Structures are given as C-alpha cells and as structure tokens.
A and B are shown apart, each in its own frame.
Chain A
Amino acid sequence: MLVEKRLKNTAEIPTSSLADMAFLLLIFFIVITTVGTDKGIDLVLPPEGDVKEIPKTNIMNILLNDNGDILIEEEPRFMNQIKDIVKNRIAKNDKIIVSVKTTRRTPYKIFVAVLDQLKQAEAKKISIAEPDK
C-alpha cells in the first residue's frame, strides 16, 4: 500500500524562484542593450551613372577648396552666412538644388559643417559633386 500512497502525491514544480530567474535574465538584457545614441547627418547619394540635365537657374553651386574656403555663386562667403543665403534662395525658388563641390584635399570637418548649415536652412535637394581629377 506504500506505493499507492506515493502515487497520490501530485508532482509539483516549485515556482517561487521563477520570478527571480526572470529578473536575472531581464537585468542581463537591460545591461547589454545599447540605447540608440548614433547620431549624424543623413544624405542620399545619386545612383551610378545617373546624369540629369538641370536648368542652370535651379542650381546653386557651393565650392569648397583645399583650405576650406567657401565660394557660393562666385562669391567668397563665411560659414555662418550659408544658412541665410540658402534659405533666401529656397524661398525664391523651391526647385533649387544645392550642389556642394569639394576637392580631394578639402577637410572633412568643413564638408560636414556645410551640410549642417544646409540642413538648418531646410534644403531638401542636396547634391554632392565629384571632385575634378
């Protein structure tokens, strides 16, 4: 009759520590999760071999030389002027494409600063021209 008695005991899995285990796993995942801190300036490159004819009136040229000097429409400008100039041009003509042309020796820092100014001026159409070889 001993056997019968044992069979009557229902088998139970202890669940009191379940929450503790789940907490440990939870803490592990919280710790290794990196919160999205990647920030930057976005840009869409033109596809390869995509040459479009654009009327000259819709293009605004920004040239950057080796020293990081800025030339907008044939006139030398300072970095903090770009925003207002571009804003004015967009207000006059919303089809305007801002073309940024650099040389191979232009500092990357200057290029990013110019893009930053263009983004602040809410320029949507930004094109990066290839440097002359």
Chain B
Amino acid sequence: MKFSNQKNKPPAIPGASMSDIVFTLLLFFMVSTVIKKFNGLPVDTPEAYQVEKLQTKTHTSYIWIDEGENISFDDYPISSMDEIYTIAREKIVKDVQLLIFMRIDKNMRMGVLVDVQQELRKAGALRVYYATKTKASPNY
C-alpha cells in the first residue's frame, strides 16, 4: 500500500530555487548588454561573401560615411579630417584593442575612405572592419 500513498500526493515543481536561476540569467544579460546611445547615418552597405562577425562590441568604434559624404565618428559629426585624428587618438590611448567599424555607403568612391584611413593610420588605430551584408553566392 506504499504505492497508493505516493500516488495520492500531487506532483509539485520546487519553486524555491527559481528566483536564483532567474537572477543568474539576469546578471548575465546585465553584464553582456552594451547600451547604445546613437544610431549614426543612413547607410546601405555593400555585399560580400567571406564576411567575419565582429568579435567584440566594447572595443569597437563606428564610423559612418553616407552618400552625401557626411561623416560621423560614433555619435559625433565630423567636419574636417583633423577631427578624426583627434578622436581616434583619444580612443586608442584609452583602449589599445580599439577596432574601427566602418559603415560606408556602397555608392561611395574611394577618395573619402582613403582620407579617413590616412587619419586613422596617423592616430595608430590600425584595425578596421568594412561593414558588409552577407550574400549567398561567392561570385561577384
């Protein structure tokens, strides 16, 4: 008759440790969240096949260049090339692992990019990413 005794008990999921689990998840998300303060410029990036995912967001700065040759470095609008040097220098001093993620419109020409890269090289921010969309086939 032991069996029938056990059957009569309603099954219950232990809820005591639930809050602990939830708190652990909560901590994970709080730590991994980087809150963005800016949205940059409207940019349509080109497509590429062999793309790499950006590994880190904490060490990344963004440069936007839109079709009208407007440049934005993080949320700061750039009017002369010297400013890129100044900002990049400031950032690279604070964070040696700095990565520059460049979102450049696909209808742009190389001139502006060359100038921007010249300033980045002067500042010592050498690791760059060209933002692309992923395309399905490897051929052009």
Which chain A residues have a beta carbon within 8 Å of chain B's beta carbons?
A: 15, 18-19, 22-23, 25-26, 29-30, 32-34, 36, 38-48, 79-80, 83, 102-109, 111-113, 115-117, 119-120, 128, 130-131
Contact = CB atoms under 8 A, between A and B. Distances in A.
12 contacts: A29-B29, A38-B57, A39-B51, A40-B102, A40-B130, A41-B51, A41-B52, A44-B128, A47-B121, A48-B122, A112-B48, A120-B138
Contacts of B128: 42-45
Contacts of B32: 33
Interface of B: 15, 18-19, 22-23, 25-26, 29-30, 32-36, 45-46, 48-54, 57, 60, 101-102, 104-111, 113-114, 117-118, 120-122, 124, 126-134, 138-140
Q: Which 7 A-B pairs have the closest CB atoms?
A: A29-B29, A104-B111, A79-B140, A38-B54, A116-B48, A119-B50, A19-B19
B131 A40 contact: yes
Nearest to B26: A26
A32 B107 contact: no
